[in-house]
Structure 1
Amino acid sequence: MAEKKGNLSINSENMFPIIKKWLYSDHDIFYREVISNACDAITKVKKLDSMGDFALPEGYRPRVDVILNDKDKTVKISDNGIGMTAEEVEQYINQVAFSGATDFLEKYKDKDATDQIIGHFGLGFYSTLMVADRVDIDTLSYQEGAHPVHWTCDGSSEYEMEEGQGRTSFGTTITLHLSDDCLEFCNEYKAREVIQKYCSFMPYEIYLSKAQEDRTETVKESEKRDDDIVLEEIKPEKKEADKKPAGEEASSDTKDGEASKKEEEQKEEEKKYKIKRRPELLNEIHPLWMKTPQECTDEEYKEFYRKVFHDYKEPLFWIHLNMDYPFRLKGILYFPKLNIEFESAEGVIKLYNNQVFIADNIKEVIPEYLMLLKGVIDCPDLPLNVSRSALQNDGFVTKISDYISKKVADKLAGLCKTDRENYNKYWEDISPFIKYGCLKDDKFCEKMNDYILFRNLEGDYITLPDALKISDEEKKAETAEGENGEKVEAEVVDEGTEKPDDAENTEQQEDRKESEEKILYYVTDEKQQSQYINLFKEQHMEAYVLKHNIDVPFMQQLESKNEGVKFRRIDADLTAAFTSETSKEKEKEFEESATKIAEMMKKALGKDITVKVQKLKDPKVSSILTVSEESRRMQDMMKLYQLNGMNMGDFGAEGQTLYLNADHPLVQYVMGHLQEEVSGKLCQQLYDLAKLQNAPLSAEEMTAFLARSNELMMLTLPKTE
């Protein structure tokens, strides 16, 4: 077969149904597309005027009018933009995907005509065919001597075009004859909702009105406009001032007389007019994000937040984005005030392109963790797809996302440095954003590492570097306090059998590693863990409140990013700071008692429990239960599997250690009466009391605890004969 070359043929009759049905996912998008085209037309004629190629008439006010006619089932969208000649209608309307915006930009590319041009693909107009059985265009070009053009199409690939009668001034009017299943779009409330969704901040005024408007309004003469349709002039009524007694008038001086005359003049009402209800302005042409931060006041930022997000709780603070290179981006990001205990942390980031709404929460542009914020971002350089509903995959988008993340980190760091008091105040609300951001973005985590705060038991906020310094100081104090005890322990070891060199080296390495660790203690429940908190406070040791679900992975993240940093819950171990020194004889006695009590516990509880008897500095504490940090974290992880029906039971119980205070009377009684039945019950009671400070008892455990409590209290009653 001979080699052959040619052009692909596209059948418009086959193509149109595809465009109508599949180009846009939402039918209401036609409002955005047609109004965007109208704004482009206005931008073009203003650009020509600024370049001297055309002179706009005096008093020209750019505007777009949307006129609803539910009787005729039509929607008219009219502008006073550049208009079109018959040749331009042939080129831009009759040729599918030929963009008038792109053609205009190409023609004036050397004259800085790119600002505010929205369209690119030449397909937006055809969105009208999704909702209309017929579409009419009436247009008149700005060019001198141009004739009006009328164009109509019923949704097929055929059209009719002739000299028009509908326009006498330059601009374009598009009339949609709605199909029966789309009549909702000529309803005033629906039209307002859709237009304000997509076009609230378009650069030219958009007015909504009804063709059969029978509603009226009354305006003062000073408020009357040239384009008002006056129905009736309301004559003013002159009200006479209250008459004063003759004697008083005679005694009034000239000044009083002038005041009286002025008062009478003020009582004369201003002339009023009854007019046909004015078209309703639907948009704000100068949105706050288009201004520079220096031009905006705090009250304007707050009002904009209330208006756009319908949230009447004031935002904590905001970030105003303003960038021109290497891409154009403007916007405002708000940090909302959240009650993360009771509210789902869901924000809204609205994405705009040249002040045209594109979508909410586009993940390619907005880093995932910033979806908790509320804000608007306007980027004219976004690589949109044909329907302007999503982004093309583009490395450029990643740069935008990185820039936004960097600006947020810079703002937070600056706030911590320059306004620490407010940063502390905001922390509980902004910490979910920051912690989630650290988990999702390594660069963000690196920038924020020194500005992460921890709330201590006194309610003060400490940065991570300061918390690590405090940990070092506490370790030095604990080492100094326990030096004598360490020497005694060393002597006991020396008396025993010598250990192999390898074992000794391993122990030394472990000891060295542990001594280099910077341990930060944390609290997850200030009420339940109150006993441990009291111990820490009495010894002037720091612990930090980390009680939210996100804190578990966040701690692991900090440990992995900061060498030597370890987090331990305050009930994970019993440090030397909480115990008193004992003699070697007492230590041996305590070990023997602990072994016997552990056996007693195993029989009563049905599981192995490590028991240690030590002297605690707080004589009021009878027992303390600790769970190793490794075991607890494993339990937290395994909770996820319990959701899938896995029963983990008492998984992690091997990490539990029960400490009994040798100075407490109950413990002393148990050690002195190990063979008595009541001692077994007291051991169980001591375990449950300690566990209550660690975690809730199960239903079975609570039932047994209450019954046992009653039994033990009965023993205190005097015996009756």
Structure 2
Amino acid sequence: MEMEKGSVSIDAQNIMPVIKRWLYSDKDIFLREVVSNGCDAITKYRMTNPDDESEMSVMVTVDKENKTLTISDTGIGMTEDEVKRYINQVAFSGASEFMKKFEGDEKKGDIIGHFGLGFYSVFMVSENVEIETLSCQEGAEPVHWESKDGMDFAISEGHRTTHGTSIILHISDEEKEFLELYRVREVLTRYCGYMAYPIYLMDANAKPVEREEEIPGETNEDGTPKKRKVVDEPKPSLINDTKPLWLKKPSECEDKEYIDFYHKMFGWEDPLFWVHLNVDYPFNLKGILYFPKLRNDFGKYEGQVKLFAGQVFVADNVKEVIPEFLTLLKGVIDCPDLPLNVSRSFLQNDGTVKKLSAHITKKVADKLCGLFNTERETYQKYWDDIAPFVKFGAMRDQKFYEQVKKAILYKTTDGRYLTLEEYKTGNADKADKKVYYTNDPKRQAASVALYTNRGIDVVVMDHIIDGNFQSFMEYSGGEEGLTFARVDADVSGLLEDSEEGKELNRETIQAMFRKALGKDDLPVNLQSLSDAELPAMVTEDEQIRRMKEMSRLYGQSFDMPDRFTLVLNRRNKAIQELAARDPENETTQLLCQQIYDLARMSAQPLEADEITAFLKRSQKLVAMAVEKE
């Protein structure tokens, strides 16, 4: 058999139903596509007619009575031959062909379309589509094109008298929502709110409004102002801002402009600070990323980074371009160079996108490090709000961590902010490669005091993300031997070299507490703690406790019982006296139970029935003490 080569043929009758149903994930994108085409047509006209300074715009007209939606531009228009090439050939991009002609012209980057499929999205909502167009070429004749299904068409002489193109959509009954003015306004605002040319919306069924107005300087006989009737004709409303803030140079923007833009896009709470991206090489990238305040319910928080391509909205939080951790921020990214697929909903995973993502990450890291190095006091004021974002980013992106690790702060219980190096230096002789922390400064106040009284800094790590961050730092943070220990995880840093209570027998007192508590396997240790006033504390293995916390956090049924160790302070007078008492005595048992519960309360809340028992026992011990007096 001889080798044969050829081209695969596509049957329009088979492919058009697929395009109509699956071209885009959201039907309302058709409006973005045809308005984008209109803006492209205007750009082409500007490039071919640079001396024409008249206003160019796109008009969207809703005619509910006649069931039509018309998108009309004042752009370059099309000849009959161009209609046959650009409209009758599926996936033939007039934008791509035009850009080849203007290779080297910097304005060609303003052309939005690339794939030549956008126009056919109108058939998702239309039962019939008409085009009226007139090319700006000298001597051109107007052209009318019409199709009911995108497969069969008719071309005839048109009626348009000015250059440009009008697309008349006869909306199907199933999609009549696109004949509602509010719905069309909503879609235009979302997708076209920042396009480069004015986009107007007009209600064809709007009626003139008659009203009265005062005649300046004229009064009636009774002294009242004379009035006249005025008729206000319906006017189109402007949809978009053609020069959004992100296109300006950072040096030209004032803080108030950034804050006002944030309010317009995302609500009325002020952002902390922002990063203005403005890159022309090796790719065209502009945008503004804002740092909002992050709540402690971090898992439920969603930022919003809007992705634009040439001022055309594409999607929110597109992970191929915007690293996952950056979606905790709010802002806009505009990159005309992005390679979009036909739906413009997902981005192709190519080298340009990867470089773009890395560049955005670097710019954010540069901003953080710049603030830390030059305005540390200001940076520290922001830290509580941005810490979850920075820590999450460090865990998700190793390069980001390497860039910002020297700017990661740890807040101490006395309100100071230290870097890891500063913490290690300040506690080198007392906490070798160990960071002591509390996740509940009030509940764990007694344990915290044991460390701070010895001059050891305790940092507050009470955010939902901190457990994961501690594990990251221990295993992936590049700090060999570093460990994080909650203040009640062990007592190795709290021991005092003392002779007090050395005569106490651990086995005897352990048996006493086990009997009183009904816990035959309770580990009990006798230690010389630095604070002689503290009778006891409970400790729990750091890794086991973290495992349980992670299990609860992610809703897993990992039922691991509490495994506390009761540490009794041999220097404490109450423990010394208790050790000499009869373990069978009721008061002895009540005191053992009370000491144990007091120690546990510093580690975690008691259950409801345990609280009840604790209160009753407290009342009984008070009564016994009063009677003894």
In the alignment, what sits opposite 1:205? 198
Q: Which residue of 1 aligns with 2:421?
A: 465
Once the two structures are superposed, the pairs formed by residues 90-489 of structure 1 within 5 Å of their partners are 90-165=84-159, 167-216=160-209, 235-238=215-218, 274-309=231-266, 311-341=267-297, 344-475=300-431
Evaluate the alpha carbon distance shift between residue 27 and residue 456 of structure 1 in structure 2; reply closer, same or farther with a 3 A threshold.
same
Q: Is 1:608 aligned to 2:521, yes or no?
A: yes
Q: Is the 8 A contact 1:42 1:82 kept in 2?
A: yes
Aligned equivalents of 1:234, 1:132: Cα separation in 2: 47
Q: Distance in 1 between matches of 2:550 and 2:151?
A: 62
Whether 2:581 is the aligned partner of 1:668: answer: no
Shift in alpha-carbon separation, 1:70–1:639, aligned structure 2, 3 A: closer
Give secondary structure in 2 for the equivalent of 1:285.
coil
Identity fraction in percent: 46
- Matches of 2:553 and 2:20, distance apart in 1: 47
Q: Are 1:567 and 2:480 counterparts?
A: no
Distance across 1 between alignment mates of 2:91 and 2:149: 16
Secondary structure of 1:305's counterpart equals: helix
Kindly provide the CA deviation profile for residues 655-691 of structure 1, in whole angstroms up to 9, marking residues without a partner as x. x242224332x22321221445132332222111111
Q: 1:333 to 1:280 in 2, by over 3 A?
A: same
CA drift of 1:324 comes to: 1.4
1:1-55 C-alpha deviation (Å, 9 max, x unpaired): 55544332221122211111111121111110000000000000101123xxxx5
Q: Which amino acid aligns with 2:78?
A: M
SS in 2 for 1:385: coil
- Amino acid in the other structure paired with 1:282: I
- What are the superposed Cα offsets for residues 229-267 of structure 1, whole Å, 9 maximum, x if unpaired? xxx997533479xxxxxxxxxxxxxxxxxxxxxxxxxxx
Per the alignment, do residues 403 and 567 of structure 1 end up closer, same or farther by CA in structure 2, a change over 3 Å counting?
same
User: Which one of 605, 608, 625 corresponds to residue 538 of structure 2?
Assistant: 625
Query: What displacement does 1:139 show?
Result: 0.7
The amino acid of 2:606's aligned partner reads L
What is the deviation of 1:217? 8.5
Determine the structure 2 residue equivalent to 1:43: 43
- 1:705 lines up with 2:617 in the alignment: no
Query: Letter of the aligned partner of 1:365 in structure 2?
Result: V
Cα distance in 2, alignment partners of residues 393 and 130 from structure 1 = 27
Asked whether the 8 Å contact 1:622–1:667 carries over to 2, the reply is yes
Q: Tell me, yes or no, if the aligned pair for 1:627 and 1:657 is still in contact at 8 Å.
A: no
Q: Distance in 2 between matches of 1:21 and 1:373?
A: 34
SS in 1 for 2:128: strand
8 Å Cα contact 2:303-2:328 kept in structure 1: yes
Q: Check conservation: 2:548, 2:558, Cα contact below 8 A.
A: no
- Whether the 8 Å contact between 1:335 and 1:374 is mirrored in structure 2 is yes
1:105 and 1:113 in contact (8 A); partners too: no
Per-residue Cα deviation, 1:412-470 (whole angstroms, up to 9, x for no partner): 01011111112111111101110101111111111111111111111111112111111
Q: Hey, what's the Cα distance between the residues in 2 that align with 1:236 and 1:679?
A: 97
Tell me, in whole angstroms, the C-alpha distance in 2 between the residues paired with 1:646 and 1:66. Answer: 58
Q: Which amino acid aligns with 2:596?
A: Y
Q: CA deviation at 1:473?
A: 4.3
Q: State the Cα deviation string for residues 339-375 of structure 1 (Å, max 9, x = none).
A: 3258932101111110111111111111111111101
Alignment of 1:465-544 (within 5 A): 465-475=421-431, 517-544=432-459
Paired residue total: 623
Are 1:598 and 1:608, in contact at CA under 8 Å, matched by a contact in 2? no
Q: Which has the larger radius of gyration?
A: 1
Q: Report the equivalent of 1:7.
A: 7
Please, which runs of 5 or more residues in structure 2 have no aligned partner? none
CA RMSD after TM alignment: 2.6
Compared with structure 1, are the counterparts of its residues 79 and 269 closer, same or farther at alpha carbon in structure 2 (3 Å cutoff)?
A: farther
After superposing the two structures, state which structure 1 stretch, 108-117 or 525-534, moved more. 108-117
Separation in 2, partners of 1:158, 1:567: 71
Describe the SS at the equivalent of 1:115: helix
What residue ranges of structure 1 are gaps of 5+ in the alignment?
219-231, 241-267, 476-516
| Alpha carbons 1:535, 1:578 under 8 Å: kept | no
How do residues 569-608 of structure 1 correspond to structure 2 at under 5 angstroms? Answer: 569-575=486-492, 577=494, 579=496, 581-582=498-499, 586-587=501-502, 589-590=503-504, 592=505, 594-603=506-515, 604-608=517-521
Which amino acid letter does the alignment assign opposite residue 97 of structure 1? A
How far apart are the structure 1 equivalents of 2:426 and 2:195?
55
Distance in 1 between the 2:376 and 2:229 partners?
A: 56
2: CA distance, partners of 1:280 / 1:576? 71
Residues 1:572 and 1:332: Cα distance change in structure 2 (over 3 Å): same
Deviation, 1:610, is: 3.4
Hey, what's the Cα distance between the residues in 2 that align with 1:682 and 1:382? 72
1: distance between equivalents of 2:447 and 2:396?
Answer: 33
TM-score normalized with structure 2 length: 0.93
Compared CA separation, residues 111 and 623, structure 1 to 2 (3 A): closer
More helix by share: 1
1:64 and 1:77 in contact (8 A); partners too? yes
**Structure 2 partner of 1:503:** none
Amino acid at match of 1:179: S
Deviation at 1:559, TM superposition (A): 2.0
Tell me the residue number matched to 1:647: 559
| 2:527–2:567 CA contact under 8 A, matched in 1 | no
Change (3 A) 1:292 1:110: closer
Partner of 1:22: 22
Q: Are residues 689 and 719 of structure 1, via their aligned partners in 2, closer, same or farther at CA, if it must alter by over 3 Å?
A: closer
Deviation at 1:135, TM superposition (A): 0.8
What SS class does the counterpart of residue 307 from structure 2 fall into?
strand
Q: Cα–Cα, structure 1 residues 719 and 335, in superposed 2: closer, same or farther, change >3 Å? A: closer
Q: Secondary structure of 1:40's match?
A: helix
Mapped contact 2:568–2:575 kept (Cα < 8 A):
no
Scaled by the length of structure 1, the TM-score of the pair is 0.82
In structure 1, what is the Cα distance between the partners aligned to 2:481 and 2:299?
A: 36
Q: Which amino acid aligns with 1:93?
A: I
Change (3 A) 1:679 1:274: same
The AA in structure 2 aligned to 1:427 is W
CA distance in 1, matches of 2:553, 2:299: 22
Structure 1 60/634 Cα, relative in aligned 2: closer, same or farther at 3 Å?
Answer: closer
- In the TM superposition, what is the alpha-carbon distance from 1:533 to its structure 2 partner? 2.2
Deviation at 1:112, TM superposition (A): 3.9
Once residues 293 and 286 of structure 1 are traced to their aligned partners in structure 2, the CA distance between those partners, rounded to angstroms, is 14
Q: Is the 8 A contact 1:658 1:687 kept in 2?
A: no
Which whole-Å CA distance do the structure 1 matches of 2:61 and 2:463 have between them?
Answer: 53
Task: Give the whole-Å Cα distance in 2 for the aligned partners of 1:674 and 1:662.
Answer: 20
